[in-house]
Amino acid sequence: MRPFHRAAAAAAAVLLPAGGPAGCTMLDDAGSSGDSASGASGVAVEGGDPSVDATGDAIVAATLGAPPQAPSAEVEIAVLGLRVRGKLATLTVRMTPRIPPGGPDKASPYDLNGNEGIDPSLIDPVNLKRYVVVKDSRGREMETDDITTDLVNGKAGALRYTFAAPPENVKALDLQFGGWPTFRDIPVQR
């Protein structure tokens, strides 16, 4: 890990996700508290993957609390879409870190997930299948790099992940995203 990323990871270590969700929608056993940003549109995007449009409406969003060491820190995760094109499905996610004053100005998805890879996977609860990010011909995962991608505090950043497309009869999938609770029933757009 480069010195800059070590310093950023150390500075953002207080952002580890812990406990249960605060204000989640469509997550494991979580109800809506009205604090989520589901349906938000016109969001200004700064940081993340510049090739991803993260300004659309959220299908589902959750604002998740941070650990006891930083009780006021949060991260908002908004699923913008899961679109199938040919044999591939592309997941678009928007993340917004909310770091309290005195914390770092930027954090990567890796930092926000407690210095762990996001490792997203799609779960088909009907056919009992798990879809992981596909690799290109060079063996690289087709996803936004969760270590080198900077997300600016208080600003939305865009992320993209590519999976094998589920069968035509699959209308919705669950999403496991980092260490956070599972997002349920993400519609498959064809």
Question: Could you tell me the residue range of the domain that residue 8 belongs to?
Answer: 3-187
Question: What is the distance between the alpha carbons of residues 119 and 160, in angstroms, rounded to a whole number?
Answer: 12
Based on its alpha-carbon atoms, the radius of gyration of the chain, rounded to whole angstroms, reads 16
Confidence of residue 49 (pLDDT cuts 50, 70, 90): low
- DSSP character string of 10-52: HHTGGG---SS-SSBSSBTTB---S-S-TT--S--EEEE-TTS
Residue of higher predicted confidence among 39 and 155 = 155
Task: Tell me what pLDDT residue 104 has.
Answer: 86
Task: Name residues whose C-beta falls within 8 Å of residue 132's C-beta, 6 or more positions apart in sequence.
Answer: 119, 121, 163
pLDDT tens digits for 136-154? Answer: 999 999 999 999 999 999 9
Instruction: Tally Cβ neighbours within 10 Å of residue 3.
Output: 7
Strand order in the sheet with 60-65: 60-65, 74-85, 88-98, 156-164, 45-48, 151-152, 106-107
Tokens of 19: 């406990």
Rounded distance between C-alpha atoms, residue 147 and residue 93, angstroms? 16
pTM above 0.85, yes or no: no
Q: Are strands 74-85 and 121-124 parallel, antiparallel or unpaired?
A: unpaired
Domain tally for the chain? 1
